Structure 1
Amino acid sequence: MESKHYNVFVIGSGVAGQTAAKVCSKNGLKVAIADKQAFGGTCALRGCDPKKVILQFGDIIKKTEALKGLGIKKVPKIDWQDILKFKDSFVKEIPKGTEEQLSELGIDLYHQSPKFINKNEISVEGKTISADNFVIATGLTPRKLHFKGASYLKTSGDFFTLKKLPKSATFIGAGYIAMEFSFLLSTLGCKVTIIDRGAQPLSQFDDFLVKKLTDKMKENGVKFYFDSEIESIEKLKKNFRVHFNKNGKEYSIKSRVVFNTSGRVPATELLNLEKANIKYDDSGIIVNNFLQNETNSNVFACGDISSKSLPLTPLSGLQGYIVGNNILNKNSKEFSNPLVPSVVFTHPNLASVGLSEKEANKRYKNIKIYQDDASDFYNAKKSNESTYAYKIIINKRTDVIVGAHLLSTEANECINIMMMAIDKKMTVSQFKKLIFTYPSYTSDLKNMMKNID
């Protein structure tokens, strides 16, 4: 078997892996990178970017539906094939472009998932390869479900290759992906069902706003079953029948397609980590503040696979940069999670940053909460939007803003303003002195923090 040596071998070609590889190569190290899928990573090819291209058409429909009869005579019709072609225009050149960029830097490319042989060697494409350092950046993969008929399940990646809109769809799991795709499909006329073992969707978001979003999606035709366990999936002639149990009672739902949206887990299965003494668990590769593995100091991890990360592309890039520099300069940079906003791109958007109400109550002796329905605000009325709400959390002793949770058509942008306010430890009085464009959803943020004493 042919053997080869590199200074750095990177596993995974998403933003994290690419960034680490480029930093090392540009500084004179001999670098290789491997991926079993097309080069470019989940976000660019099968995740965030193509998802946002497609979801915007659902937003257009909802906005025009709200204004029908108020100036809009007819809601536009959507051509699914044209949407997919438009989405493909963002995606199709990425693998080739990524490979060209990496090759131009002198980085060797491998198109297979490596397997560790020992602490210093891997096997890939029939070669035994040693390296001074390995960087694992394999990201997350859909969680496997184990019940009869689970092989019939589609994943979120399959959504982007649907040749036509299904007449009906069932989602198992009520996280980001299920809520976003359900919003889109139900808006485009698909009969949608979401089944989840929990008591509500989006468990990491604020209950007050999640309920409002769930109610809005029910109005849009989405049917929810909570506290439910899947028992099996049965293949019919054209459809699939999902059998599940809710409170001891048996139910079944029939639909054209069934998606596994039960979450994603670290993609470690193919790597043979045990042979390299690489410590890992359900959170990913266990790393210290230098993003270095605790049990094999030759191994670093960055991006979603790191135990110190969140599934967000900007954070992956930051971690890749830190790993690259720590390989070059012997752990010169420590990683600490920055304040990161999260968004569910439904209609309306659900966004969050900082502390939840529960977290704030644990951290501070007294908190102040600004919470209300804002559907009577001017911006909601002008767009005829019925769902607009907020919860903003304050440390009562200092008047400093510590958490913000928004539900609106512009929450994905407004949450960035609240992120900066929290990051800079602004007080309510300081925030209210800021001047924003008017009338804008940003200007509404000051109105949300009205006196409640």
Structure 2
Amino acid sequence: MKKYDVFVIGSGMAGMTIANKCASKGLSVGITDELPYGGTCALRGCDPKKVIIGATEVRDFAKRLKGKGIDTIPDINWKDIMAFKQTFVDEMPKKIEKGYKKNGIDTFHSSATFINENTLSVGNETIQADKVVIASGSKPKVLDFEGGQLAKTSTDFLNLKGLPQSLLFIGGGYIAFEFAHIAARSGAEVTIVHRGKRPLEIFDKDIVKHLVDATRNLGVKLVLETEVSKIERKDGSYITTGISNGKETNYKSAAVFNSAGRPPAIFDLELEKAGISFSKKGIEVNEYLQSPSNANVYAAGDAADSRGLPLTPVAVLEGHIVASNIIKGDQKKVNYPPMPSVVFTLPTMATVGLLEDDAKEKGYDINVNFEKVDNWFNARRLNVDEYAFKTIIDKNNNTILGAHLIGPHCEETVNLFAMAIKTKMTISDLRTMIFSYPTMASDLTYML
């Protein structure tokens, strides 16, 4: 049996932060992951996705400026995109494991299950630890209808050797929209089938309407209020059956992708044996990100049922909190700053802070500024159709409660709003800021 001060399950950003920080303070640390080291973001999510999007951004920009200085719209070479993407993915696991070894952290490459409150079975090893951290991330939802196993995952999409001529995405979240935009701009026919009345439900409904319009204008078929009930393979194609108001409709495509959500990857850990409380949302944690039912267990990132959004920077923040509480005793409570979230479609959609309805429910006296501004200089110079904002202002304090954007580079502009919300900058302070011009950031003062 091997013994450690700290043992971490999962090598994504939360797990990596905890392992390295604890080891730097002289604690004995082990870490395991049944997948290559690096986690979803670096290997199967944010980073490779953003690399692929780069090529589609070039094509989109050229298309918008055709006849305005650009004569030729470049083709997208899928094989070259994937090769470029792979240069980022391939280097990560080795680099991360090398860092662990340098810091004296023992590395394992197997799934883990609990034997009792502080003992784990990891591959062929039995491991005992004073503190166990569950940072196992999330994984695609299991589609439990007939033929559900025929749907490919987001990981499969990011590793496609060739782009199918037609694709269908199940679910109307950010993964479906981002990949749909990539595929459509790369020449494929794309369908999104979503069970709800509107997609991207955690984002502002008025801003989402703009993205829905842009998505449909791109040629993506967006089917709402339709529950997928079956997938079958027929004559080399896939037939996906959707039910809406009791009526069945079949959709034919060369590939089907499961983008119906990502539950926490915790349900194979045999948590009951360790007395760990959990739900379908993740490991139950207190303000120290500690299991209230087993004080020697902590959870962070997508595996934890915390108030943090399932975002990489949030996982890093939670990782620092957990490491601090292991090293110094439970002294540091988690306190989330404003958490900006982005849908990397074209146009990009971003949000931070409170939604309009949330602000009203919380009793704030608010001003709401909502406007489509495709006539502003920045929209016209880039020849974009979709550029809109909604800002929620607290009348009493003259501060920003929330900002919701769609348009060019709003993934950057939203960070300024996040900083303004966190520091409680007043509208007057922001209006007297001098931003470099002409930039997207310089539009911020007109959104207040």
Unaligned runs of 5+ in 2: none
In structure 2, C-alpha distance between the alignment counterparts of 1:279 and 1:433, rounded to whole Å: 50
Instruction: Quote the offset at 1:363 in angstroms.
Output: 2.0
- 8 Å CA contact 2:399–2:427 kept in 1: the answer is yes
- 8 Å CA contact 1:342–1:351 kept in 2: the answer is yes
Q: Which deviations, in whole Å up to 9, do the C-alpha atoms of 1:144-196 show, x marking residues without a partner?
A: 11111111011101111111111000000010110001011111111000001
- 8 Å CA contact 2:56–2:76 kept in 1: the answer is no
* Structure 1 equivalent of residue 397 of structure 2: 398
Q: Which deviations, in whole Å up to 9, do the C-alpha atoms of 1:295-342 show, x marking residues without a partner?
A: 001101111111113211112112112211211111121112221101
* Structure 1 equivalent of residue 17 of structure 2: 19
- 8 Å CA contact 1:364–1:395 kept in 2: the answer is no
In structure 1, C-alpha distance between the alignment counterparts of 2:118 and 2:381, rounded to whole Å: 63
Instruction: Quote the offset at 1:429 in angstroms.
Output: 2.1
Letter in 2 for 1:408: G
In structure 1, C-alpha distance between the alignment counterparts of 2:355 and 2:42, rounded to whole Å: 30
SS at match of 1:250: strand
* Structure 2 equivalent of residue 56 of structure 1: 54
Distance 1:61-1:225 versus aligned 2 partners, 3 A rule: same
SS at match of 1:318: helix
Instruction: Quote the offset at 1:125 in angstroms.
Output: 1.8
Letter in 1 for 2:348: N
Letter in 1 for 2:400: I
* Structure 2 equivalent of residue 304 of structure 1: 302
Distance 1:58-1:120 versus aligned 2 partners, 3 A rule: same
Unaligned runs of 5+ in 1: none
Letter in 1 for 2:249: Y
- 8 Å CA contact 1:32–1:108 kept in 2: the answer is yes
SS at match of 2:139: strand
In structure 1, C-alpha distance between the alignment counterparts of 2:323 and 2:386, rounded to whole Å: 45
- What are the residue-to-residue correspondences of 1:42-441 with 2, within 5 Å? 42-308=40-306, 309-441=308-440
Letter in 2 for 1:375: D
Q: Which deviations, in whole Å up to 9, do the C-alpha atoms of 1:397-453 show, x marking residues without a partner?
A: 33221110011111000001111111122222221111111111111111223xxxx
Instruction: Quote the offset at 1:365 in angstroms.
Output: 4.6
Percent identical across equivalent pairs? Answer: 45
- 8 Å CA contact 1:81–1:164 kept in 2: the answer is yes
Q: Which deviations, in whole Å up to 9, do the C-alpha atoms of 1:29-71 show, x marking residues without a partner?
A: 1111010000111100001000100012111111110110111
In structure 2, C-alpha distance between the alignment counterparts of 1:364 and 1:127, rounded to whole Å: 54
RMSD: 1.0
In structure 1, C-alpha distance between the alignment counterparts of 2:61 and 2:2, rounded to whole Å: 57
How many residue pairs get aligned? The number is 447
Letter in 1 for 2:167: A
Letter in 2 for 1:447: Y
Post-superposition, which runs of at least 4 consecutive aligned residues in structure 1 deviate over 3 A? none
State the TM-score, normalized to the length of structure 1.
0.97
In structure 2, C-alpha distance between the alignment counterparts of 1:129 and 1:427, rounded to whole Å: 53
